[in-house]
Chains A and B, each alone.
Chain A
């Protein structure tokens, strides 16, 4: 019997979700942070979407959010002209870094010692997190607001995107190495360290470039304007979402569209694969995050494939069936399953 994708909806935000990021894989699993225009970024367990906590403190929309590799620290970028660094275990605010305009993007180095920020003031800033009182190093050169800034090449270089350009900077000399120009607005950027690949979306295009040379590798066209795309860790698939509310999954090698999913009630602003590649998360204008299985039908996280022989008297009766709802346009059946058998 063929299986149909069941997305898991994570509710809690009250305004559009504009950014999301996964941590690395830690002994406690992996984690997910979401940035929201309601000013309250949330931390969730990465494989289940369970809410862990909300970082309270920003006084404006949060435009960017990230976790460090071991998910001990979080950083957020907000419209209140600050970036904040948080303890991701206790939820406490550790640092507030004042800027001169809306901050859009934040990124930790691998060792969590430095934080890169960028925003509407068109400056890249590098903060030494061990010396929070010290002035940050600034890199100027962008001629429009910075949308995304990322460390790359083992933190020796910086990639930054503004409205129509993507620039590569050398960290040590703080100078521009190379730049790419686009005639359409760049909507998102993702950096894949293994293989040094840069994923850039603009218009309906999903483009892959070398993160070292910025040379183009390949690009695909989607049926609608794409706001964000993510490449699977093993580089077999990519997922993308945008203005038509749908998520698309492509074969990275052939460019063939494999699957597409409806589900969100608004444009998709961000999409990312989990660090183990088993699921991908999407954040939307509709205020929700959804988790989607990479391999539909696999038992993972909250998705549980019950084989016919497992469905014996141990499953608590009765079944609860929900009639067709306009939300999912499908019949969904939940089995309450007390799995405490001997």
Chain B
């Protein structure tokens, strides 16, 4: 008798574990509410509040542009500048959620071509590609 073929439920990622160097908890003790709170009467001056708001909007826009740049890189040849003047080139695959690792294939290194590799973001000084 054949058991029916089942596929495992896909997951977005695994649960995040401890960071290994701190005891955690939000630095200022605040938690992020699930839904944006209805703005209440503010105590600080309106001008200052709108500057903060503008900065946050700018940060969000820059972040979105960066993430879109990562999306645009998928499948393209990317040239990485690493430490000690080392340059490598590879086909970009993906990054992880925290952009701590770059998943690449056909990594051309001074000692040969690596079919699949993970580049640590901390090892990368800069990278460039032509869309």
Task: Name A residues whose Cβ lies closer than 8 Å to a Cβ of B.
Answer: 1-6, 8-12, 27-29, 42-44, 48-56, 87, 89-91, 291, 293, 296-297, 302-306, 316-318, 320, 330-338, 340
Contacts and interface: CB of A to CB of B under 8 A. Distances in A.
- 3 shortest interchain CB distances as A-B pairs: A53-B24, A49-B15, A53-B25
Given A42-B18, A49-B15, A291-B15, A89 B6 contact: no
A3 B34 contact: no
Interface in B74-131: 74-75, 93-96, 103, 105
Interface residues of B, number: 40
A89 B27 CA distance: 10
- Mostly, the A contact residues are loop
Contact of A9 (B10, B15, B24, B29): B15
A28 B33 contact: yes
Contact of B11 (A27, A29, A330, A334): A334
- Mostly, the B contact residues are loop
B4 to A, nearest CB: 6
Contact of A4 (B9, B13, B29, B74): B9
B9 to A, nearest CB: 4
A49 to B, nearest CB: 3
Contact of B10 (A5, A89, A304): A304
A6 B6 CA distance: 11
8 contacts: A1-B5, A4-B9, A12-B17, A28-B33, A52-B25, A304-B11, A316-B94, A334-B10
B10 A333 contact: yes
B15 A336 contact: no
Contacts of B71: 316, 338, 340
A252 B89 CA distance: 59
B68 A340 contact: yes
B7 A303 contact: no
Interface in B27-55: 29-35
A2 B12 CA distance: 19
A316 B9 contact: no
B31 A28 contact: yes
A304 B25 contact: no
Nearest to A335: B10
Nearest to A289: B15
B6 A27 contact: no
Contact of A28 (B6, B34, B94): B34
Nearest to B27: A90
B57 to A, nearest CB: 16
Contact of B18 (A6, A51, A91): A51
Contacts of A9: 14-15
A254 to B, nearest CB: 23
A89 B18 contact: no
A78 to B, nearest CB: 17
A337 B12 contact: yes
Given A44-B15, A89-B25, 19 more contacts: A1-B5, A3-B7, A8-B14, A10-B15, A27-B34, A28-B32, A28-B33, A43-B25, A51-B15, A54-B24, A90-B25, A302-B11, A304-B12, A306-B10, A316-B74, A318-B94, A335-B10, A336-B103, A338-B67
